[in-house]
Homo-oligomer: A and B are copies of this chain.
Amino acid sequence: MSAASEGRGDTRHHVVIIGCGFGGLFAARALRREEVRVTIIDRTNHHLFQPLLYQVATGILSEGQIAPAIRDVLRRHRSVRVVLGEVEHIDLDEKSVHVDEFGKPMTIRYDSLIVAGGATTSYFGHDDFRHAASGMKSLDDALALRGEIFGAFELAEAEPDAAARQRLMTFVVVGGGPTGVEMAGQLKELSRRALRRNYRRINPQDARVVLVEGTDRLLGSMGARVSRLTAHKLTRMGVEISLDTMVSDMDDEGVEITTSDGDKQRIPAATKIWAAGTRASALGGLLADGAHADLDKAGRVKVAPDCSLPGYPEVFVVGDLMALDDLPGVAEVAMQSGAHAAHTIVRRIKGKEPKGFRYRDLGTLAAISRFTAVARIGPVQVGGLIGWLLWLVVHITFLTGFKNRFGALTRWAVSFVGRGRYERALTGRWVAHGGRHSEPA
């Protein structure tokens, strides 16, 4: 019984979705009541609520709280089949996707295809930085980082040399977008509140958190007022902000930064977090094979106004993998473009003309500390408690779309507002690896 033959007998239009991030998931959901069958392919078993990944890395949330099993989220979608595997080839002319499913090759034919491969960490050509700095894109990243962060304080407590101790307690966050800002804020919360009274030799408050940003503003996409508010609040919390600054070198020992004036400075730091750049998933390259698709500089696939691939009206590219109108790589774009692709497929089945994708910008948000967040809603920029309440409502609304709302919410109420960081366990393996939880992925 091969997967390819399985659909025989089922004459419904077959939609194949690659990737179950926000784009793929919202496409599958939009097809729920339609007369189609759906196959969704992902390399992991979970959807990942990426905007809260930094809370897994800093011990507030457990991995299960932001990563519900795809099968469970879609269990009532009876015509959706979930395949765990790696897409190795896409044949646009044969209309088939070739998947490696646990080492076995499988061919899945489609009538319509939605490619929602998302993005991975980009080190801007410095692939050697990968070994020194964890990215912030996957659960593996967040769990490795969690081990590094809590492990660094343990190593510092055991370190007799003052300079070595300071290096262990220095955290460099590269990238002043939402992930970098939220991460820097949480690291300060951790050192100022969560770890209070935990150590006898070190004072966790002595931890340095350095936030490095290449442009002249934090949260550049959110407007000048938000940038100012963010910088002000983070500075008051003790985060050292370096704007107009690039990372020119990086290794296990630390980071070398270079300002736009050419000044170089070396920061000894054990923990480096790379929240600077993303690159479209390698699936873009598969589509470009044989010059079927054009990629932009970031590896994203250029699409027609309805998100379809030029020349292939049955193939759609959505989310972070899509290059359209310079839309940003945010969850909201992925959700809306995924749903748009699904609706367009239904229109085509019904013989209707496709419509162009119109992104409704609902705004962006970033939490800086408990009770403080910044937000831009249309042209309005707000900060402080109002921003935070808005942030909370939006994230609760999304999380409640999944099953784990109750646990997540109460844990939040207790953890995020409170002092506790429950997810701090370093396993025996961490000690065996000499203070490293695991190799960076």
Contacts and interface: CB of A to CB of B under 8 A. Distances in A.
A425 B154 contact: no
Interface in A102-161: 102-104, 138-140, 143, 150, 154-155, 157-158, 160
Interface string A59-72: 10011110111011
A11 interface: no
A43 B431 contact: yes
Contacts of A427: 44, 63, 138-140, 143
Contacts of A404: 420, 422
A199 interface: yes
A44 B407 contact: no
Interface in A393-440: 403-404, 406-407, 410-411, 414-415, 420, 422-431, 434-435, 438
A429 to B, nearest CB: 6
Most chain B CB inside 10 Å of its own CB: which residue of A150, A201, A420, A435: A420
Contact of A62 (B64, B83, B85): B64
Contact of A428 (B62, B140, B414): B140
A8 interface: no
A197 B75 contact: yes
Most chain B CB inside 10 Å of its own CB: which residue of A69, A196, A198, A429: A69
Given A72-B198, A138-B427, A139-B427, A422 B407 contact: yes
A434 B103 contact: yes
A5 B330 CA distance: 54
A69 B407 contact: no
A423 B62 contact: yes
Interface in A361-409: 403-404, 406-407
A428 B144 CA distance: 13
Contacts of A424: 45-46, 64, 68-69, 72
A23 B241 CA distance: 46
Nearest to A429: B140
B435 A102 contact: yes
Contacts of A46: 424-426
A75 to B, nearest CB: 4
A291 interface: no
How many identical chains are in the complex? 2
A200 interface: yes
Nearest to A143: B427
A65 B143 contact: no
A64 B422 contact: yes
A414 to B, nearest CB: 5
Interface residues on A, range: 35 or more
A86 interface: yes
Contacts of A104: 158
Nearest to A150: B45
Contacts of A160: 1-2
Interface string A64-96: 110111011001100001111110000000000
A163 interface: no
Contacts of A332: none
B69 A425 contact: yes
Given A63-B427, A103-B434, 8 more contacts: A44-B425, A45-B425, A64-B424, A71-B199, A72-B198, A75-B197, A403-B422, A407-B407
Interface of A: 1-2, 43-46, 59, 62-65, 67-69, 71-72, 75-76, 81-86, 101-104, 138-140, 143, 150, 154-155, 157-158, 160, 195-201, 403-404, 406-407, 410-411, 414-415, 420, 422-431, 434-435, 438, 441
26 contacts: A1-B160, A1-B201, A43-B428, A44-B428, A44-B430, A45-B424, A62-B62, A62-B64, A62-B422, A62-B423, A64-B423, A64-B424, A65-B422, A67-B425, A69-B198, A69-B425, A71-B195, A76-B197, A102-B158, A102-B434, A102-B435, A103-B434, A139-B428, A407-B411, A407-B422, A428-B441
Top-6 shortest CB links A-B? A62-B62, A64-B423, A64-B422, A75-B197, A71-B198, A67-B425
